[in-house]
Amino acid sequence: MKGLDDSIALVVASVSHQFAGNMVLRDISFAIKTGTVAALLGPSGCGKTTLLRLIAGLETIQQGKITLFGIDVADAKRGLNMVPESRRVGLVFQDFALFPHLNVRQNILFGVSPDNTARIAWVDEMMRRFGLDHRAKAYPPTLSGGEQQRVALLRALAPAPELVLLDEPFSSLDATRRLDMREDTLALIRESGASAVMVTHDANEAMFMADDILVLNEGRIIQQGPPESIYNEPAAAFIMGLFGHVNRFEGVVDANGMVATAVGLVAAGKGSAPGQRVEVYIRANAFALSATAKKAPQARRGRYEEMPACRVKGEIIARYFMGASYHLHVRPADNHDHVLHVQLPVGSTPKVGEMIELEVDAKGTFVFPVDQE
Amino acid sequence: MSRTGISSLEHTLLRKTRATNRGAHALRLVAFMVAGLILLPLLAVAWKAAAQSDALAHLAATVLPRYVGNTLLLMAGVALGVAMLGTGAAWLVSRYHFPFVGIMSWALALPLAVPGYLAAFVYTDLLEYAGPVQGFLREMFGWQRPTDYWFPEIRSHSGAVLMFTLTLYPYVYLLARTAFQAQSAHLMEAARLLGRGPWRAFFSVALPVAWPAIAAGVALALMETLNDLGVVAFFAVPTLTVGVFDVWLNMNDVTGAVQIALLMLAFVLVLLVLERTARRKRRFDAMGRTGRQLQLTGGKAILALFACLLPVVAGFGIPIIVLLGHASRFWEVSLQQGLLTQLGNSLLVASITALITSALALLMVWAARLDASRAVRAAVRLSGMGYAVPGAVLAIGLLYPLAQVDNWVNRLAEPLQLPAPGLLLSGTVVALIYGYTVRFMALSLGAVESGMARISPNMEDAARTLGLRPARVLRRVHLPLLRSAVLTGALIVFVDVIKELPITMLLRPFNFETLATISFQFASEEMFEEAALHALVIVLVGMLPLILLSRTMQEQGNKQ
């Protein structure tokens, strides 16, 4: 089933959705290219799963239109709502939804016609490659979490869907299994040739898995782009919070286009006007120990203008060992109201109570205008 | 692919959408129809009673106060009895460990297999003036006449309360046991650490948390009490049920009987509200790790075992021993009385009813799954209402609509020049099975619903995304997963039909006898021994669901 334009796998156009008067999706529009793995990234309750269910046809469309490979499958205006079994979309459920009365192989072949020998052969090959062949006769409750996940994925891929949807596919796995399963899952999806849309609240997972990330918040798409651009050029303050610890400061842009913060003056950047209220975000990992910091004598308190931009002195008040890095709480010498979250590589061995000088990498610094409510 | 190609494809898809909707629509209609048929007798009672409400004044001035007073008194006694016995037993087996506690926790449900009327026959047999107990006492103490000594009269109001308590307490016991077991042991431990002694902790924590379950159990026991005809008729306690029966069949006053039936529906409504409210609250039962049972030793252990043994022996042991004794001496007489024919009749109506209720329950539950609208859910709820309605009320409610249909059919036959078919529905097995279906539908519904609730909606979503149409999803996913639930429901209905007395008495065709009606008839004629084998078969069949119960209890035990 290929439509006019199959270079685009999925088009979601102006889709809004509500449950009992609560808007969960607001005017969502985006497109996913064929052959890519896309991630819907956002906090829980932002409407990701509903969007996935709309694409699969498990929810009736209320507003907008959904097109799969050039064919409209749901269009609120025309009352079109193709039933899920006709959409050729695979779905991996968050709880896997394995049929408890069927064994592993029966589960996987559930959607494959018994006459389709080619597909059955593919399934058997994949079961062997992904270590499920010796579990073929086992029943779901006896499987490990990772095995259940692979069965669910393989079951969704077995009927050769053109698009496979994954709803938080790793959330029920423990952290160590998760890393392996991400790789296995990607490999299987690539092997099947399907395009994929996965839902996750884990930014690292989205960056690892996806070619294309869509950030959702409160039912809206905040940003769409490749992982690098989402990380390096976040379109909104909200996105910063998805990638670990950040420091947030609020200030007013001065005549020189600078904002005064607890770490010094930060350039407000293009598009900001003097007098504007802005928020400044600095990633915890944007800090580095100043080369001279250790030997430098205790500097006297100075005014911000005299300090070099984005260099800050402070006392370490707490230290947490994170394996590859230390997470520090630093109280700036000039600004006792603030506590900076700082992440430093393990090579340095700062101690609690020690005064350090930190440099701030401009690449980890972001300025957003404050929403005027 | 051309544009026209796409649009024709789209048409096919639109058609597909509509076809699926048509299936759901049809199913919804069926659900409404079933609910309508189930509610028909109740509506008929309400309608008929409203149409001739002047009869009520006459009743109120004559027999009604006695019926109502007796019913209330009986229900109060039974409520107190089953609540205390059921809760106490449940607390003992769920909280303490003593010898044979595993067996006792199952055995305490056994009296459920003994219908109240059979217990009444057995205890009358044992305790009446000519019975073995009084005979033994007379011989022992040399008493000659009834005036020489005092002995409680079993065929009395308190006797009825005792019979109902002994056979109905398992409703409370089973629900309370589940509630106590679901209670986190930490609750009691917290109460103890906060300075409450074991008794005060029980009354201030364990009991209030389990209260909804206990109330639901009491409500069920009272519905059975209200439904009963056998015990109260045999003991000559004039309750509302006896009233319907008397006014209808002995005074030949159908209008009056309908009025009493309507009044009974008011009682039912109160019980239903009690049970529903309690059930809603039970959803908030605390779930947590259940703690280890406290070990009882020495005298306390023996006391606990004895306390559990008492209701089992009284509610099950004694009846079955008496029945076995009679049956071993009178089995040939029972066979001559047509035991096999009556057994055949019982099995026939029970299996047909079980089949019908299972099929209807599957349809209704599936309809509600496909279409979770308020209307469909209400239809499912309403079609499960019959379990609360006393058989006497159902019987009188079915009388009118079925007779009406028979009239229409006969009148229709005339112009068509067909021979008049006579009574097609009323006074036939059809009416009987209709009555059973209304009353026991809830049991099938409950079983299938709880089975369906255990199937995650993701199951059908998964099957749909894997390319299956809804009807095929039902066949390939739900039916296999529901099989044991449907079978359990069917078994419970089957057993309850075998035990059922009031509907059978009132709706059976002329000369159609079942195990239950023969037992009642012979007991009424003081020839209970000759139907002991009939009664024994009823009790043995009644034990079937308890064997199932013991299996699930074992599985739960293994899981813990």
Whole-Å CA distances, A129 to A72, A133, A154, A204, B556: 36, 8, 11, 26, 38
Q: Does the pLDDT value for residue B177 go beyond 50?
A: yes
The sheet carrying A8-19 orders its strands as A22-33, A8-19, A63-68, A71-75, A80-81
CA distance B63 to B65: 6
Contact A97 B467 (CB under 8 A): no
Chain segment B70-113, per-residue pLDDT in tens: 999 999 999 999 999 999 999 999 888 999 988 998 999 999 99
Q: What is the DSSP letter of B374?
A: H
Predicted confidence at residue B184, as pLDDT, reads 67
Q: Is B4 on the interface with A (CB under 8 A)?
A: no
Contact (Cβ atoms closer than 8 angstroms) between residue B238 and residue B70: yes
Confidence tier at B202 by pLDDT (50, 70, 90): confident
For the segment B162-171, what is each residue's pLDDT rounded down to a tens digit? 999 999 999 9
CB contacts, 8 Å: A158 with chain B: 466
User: Which tokens sit at B491?
Assistant: 């078994």
B499, β-bridge pairs: none
SS3 B96: strand
Please give the torsion angle defined by the CA atoms of residues B5, B9, B15 and B16, in that order, rounded to the nearest 10 degrees. 170
Give chain A's end-to-end CA distance (angstroms, integer): 48
pLDDT at A227: 94
Query: What is the C-alpha to C-alpha distance for residues A186 and A150, in angstroms, rounded to an integer?
Result: 11
Q: Does residue B199 carry a pLDDT above 90?
A: no
CA nearest neighbour of A185 among A214, A212, A156: A156
Contact A2 B1 (CB under 8 A): yes
CB contact under 8 A, B17 and A80: yes
Q: What is the mean pLDDT of residues A23-43?
A: 94
Residue A3 has pLDDT above 70, yes or no: no
The mean pLDDT of chain A is 86
3-state secondary structure chain A: CCCCCCCEEEEEEEEEEEECCEEEEEEEEEEEECCCEEEEECCCCCCHHHHHHHHHCCCCCCEEEEEECCEEEEECCCCEECCHHHCCEEEECCCCCCCCCCCHHHHHCCCCCCCCHHHHHHHHHHHHHCCCHHHCCCCHHHCCHHHHHHHHHHHHHCCCCCEEEEECCCCCCCHHHHHHHHHHHHHHHHHHCCEEEEEECCHHHHHHHCCEEEEEECCEEEEEECHHHHHHCCCCHHHHHHHCCEEEEEEEECCCCEEEECCEEEECCCCCCCCCEEEEEEEHHHEEECCCCCCCCCCCCCCHHHCCCCEEEEEEEEEEECCCEEEEEEEECCCCCCCEEEEEECCCCCCCCCEEEEEECHHHEEEEECCCC
Say whether pLDDT at A41 is over 90. yes
User: Is B526 part of the contact surface with chain A (CB cutoff 8 Å)?
Assistant: no
Considering Cα of B366, then B371, then B377, then B382, what sign does the dihedral take?
A: negative
Chain B residues whose CB is inside 8 A of the A80 CB are 10, 13-14, 17
Size of interface A-B (CB pairs under 8 A): 87
As a whole-number percent, the residues of chain B with pLDDT over 70 amount to 90
Q: How far is CA A290 from CA A264, B359, B418, in A?
A: 14, 79, 109
- Residue B424 three-state SS: coil
Tell whether the torsion through CA atoms of B272, B277, B280 and B281 is positive or negative. Answer: negative
**Substitution target from B465, B475, B558 for chain A, most A beta carbons within 10 A:** B465
Q: Is 60 exceeded by the pLDDT of residue B247?
A: yes
Nearest to A157 by CA among A69, A87, A58, A91: A91
d(CA B417, CA A102): 58
CA distance B172 to B490: 23
| Domains, in order of start, for chain B | 16-51+355-509 (1.10.3720.10), 52-286+297-326 (1.10.3720.10)
Summarised one tens digit per residue, pLDDT across range A103-142 is: 999 999 998 989 999 999 999 999 998 889 999 999 988 8
- Evaluate the CA torsion angle B524, B529, B530, B534 in order and state its sign: positive
Q: Is the dihedral of CA B502, B504, B509, B513 positive or negative?
A: negative
Chain A residue closest in CA terms to B483: A101
Task: Give tens-digit pLDDT for B330-342.
Answer: 888 888 888 899 9
Determine the 3-state secondary structure of B422 from DSSP. coil
Share of residues in chain B with pLDDT > 90 (%): 37
Helix axes B339-370, B429-453, angle to 10 degrees: 50
Q: Is residue B466 less than 8 Å (CB to CB) from chain A?
A: yes
Cα atoms in the 13 Å half-sphere on the side-chain side of A302 = 14
CB contact under 8 A, B1 and A82: no
CA distances from B54 to B47, B50, B59, B239, B256 (A): 14, 9, 9, 22, 9
CA distance B198 to B8: 76
Q: Is the pLDDT of residue B536 over 90?
A: yes
Token readout for A165 is 């949807």
Does the pTM of the predicted model rise above 0.80?
Answer: no
Q: What is the ipTM of this complex?
A: 0.71
Q: Which range is least confidently modeled, A45-59, B48-62, B527-541?
A: B48-62
CB contact under 8 A, A111 and B468: yes
Tally Cβ neighbours within 10 Å of residue B527.
13
The answer to whether B5 faces chain A, any CB pair under 8 Å, is no
Nearest chain A alpha carbon to B3:
A4
Q: Does B468 touch chain A (CB under 8 A)?
A: yes
Taking the Cβ of residue A28 and every Cβ of chain B, the question of whether any pair is shorter than 8 Å is answered with: no
Instruction: Give dist(CA B335, CA B345) in Å, integer.
Output: 14
The answer for A 98-127 residues in CB contact with B (under 8 A) is 99-101, 110-111
Residue A42 C-alpha from the chain's centroid: 6
β-strand partners of A328:
A319, A342
Tell whether A145 is within 8 A of chain B (Cβ): no
Rounded to whole angstroms, how far apart are CA atoms A245 and A262? 17
Amino acid B1: pLDDT: 36
N- to C-terminal Cα separation, chain B = 60
- A96 Ramachandran zone, left/alpha/beta (phi>0; psi -120 to 50): left
Nearest to B461 among A1, A58, A159 (CB): A58
Confidence of residue B140 (pLDDT cuts 50, 70, 90): confident
Q: Which residues of A touch B464 (CB under 8 A)?
A: 57-58, 83-85
Does A101 contact B480 at a Cβ distance shorter than 8 Å? yes
**Does residue A318 surpass a pLDDT of 70?**
yes
* Of the listed ranges A17-26, B14-23, B212-221, B362-371, the one predicted with least confidence: B14-23
Q: Can you give B230-288 as a three-state secondary structure string?
A: HHHHHCCCCCHHHHHHHHHHHCCCHHHHHHHHHHHHHHHHHHHHHHHHHHHHHCCCCCC
DSSP state of B409: H
User: How deeply is B291 buried, as exposed, middle or buried, from its count of CB atoms within 10 A (0-12, 13-18, 19+)?
Assistant: middle
pLDDT at residue A297, rounded to an integer: 36
pLDDT tens-place string over residues A290-315: 865 443 333 333 333 333 447 888 99
Q: Which of chain B's residues have a Cβ under 8 Å away from the Cβ of A111?
A: 463, 465-468
Residues of A in contact with B4 (CB under 8 A): none
Residue A239 in contact with residue A230, Cβ under 8 Å? yes
Question: Looking at chain B from residue 107 to 136, which residues have their Cβ under 8 Å from any Cβ of chain A?
Answer: none
**Cα torsion A245, A249, A250, A253: sign:** negative
Name the maximum alpha-carbon separation found in chain B: 109
Count Cβ atoms below 10 Å from residue A192 Cβ, excluding itself.
Answer: 21
Mean pLDDT for all residues in chain B: 85
**In this complex, do B463 and A71 lie within 8 Å of one another by their Cβ atoms?**
no
| B535: exposed, middle or buried (Cβ count in 10 Å: 0-12, 13-18, 19+) | buried
pLDDT at residue B311, as a whole number: 96
Alpha-carbon distance A94 to A166, whole Å? 8
Contact yes or no for A87 and B1 at CB 8 A: no
| pLDDT for the residue numbered B556 | 65
pLDDT for the residue numbered B136: 86
Q: For residue B146, what is the DSSP state?
A: G
For residue B465, which residues of chain A lie inside 8 Å, CB to CB? 56-58, 84-85, 87, 89-91, 111, 156
Radius of gyration of chain A (CA): 25
**Taking Cα atoms as reference points, which of B85, B89, B161, B73 lies closest to residue B123?**
B161
CB A213 within 8 A of CB A200: no
Nearest to B465 among A71, A84, A95 (CB): A84
Specify the DSSP class assigned to residue B388.
G
State whether residue B164 is helix, strand or coil: helix
Alpha carbons A64 and A81: distance in angstroms, whole number:
11
Q: Cα(A226)–Cα(A207) distance, rounded to whole angstroms?
A: 8
The verdict on a CB contact (< 8 Å) between B14 and A80 is: yes
Task: Give residue A64's pLDDT.
Answer: 96
3-class SS of residue B148 = helix
* Structure confidence by residue, pLDDT tens digits, B276-312: 887 777 654 444 445 557 788 888 999 999 999 999 9
Phi/psi-derived region of residue B69, left when phi > 0, alpha when psi is between -120 and 50, beta in every other case: alpha
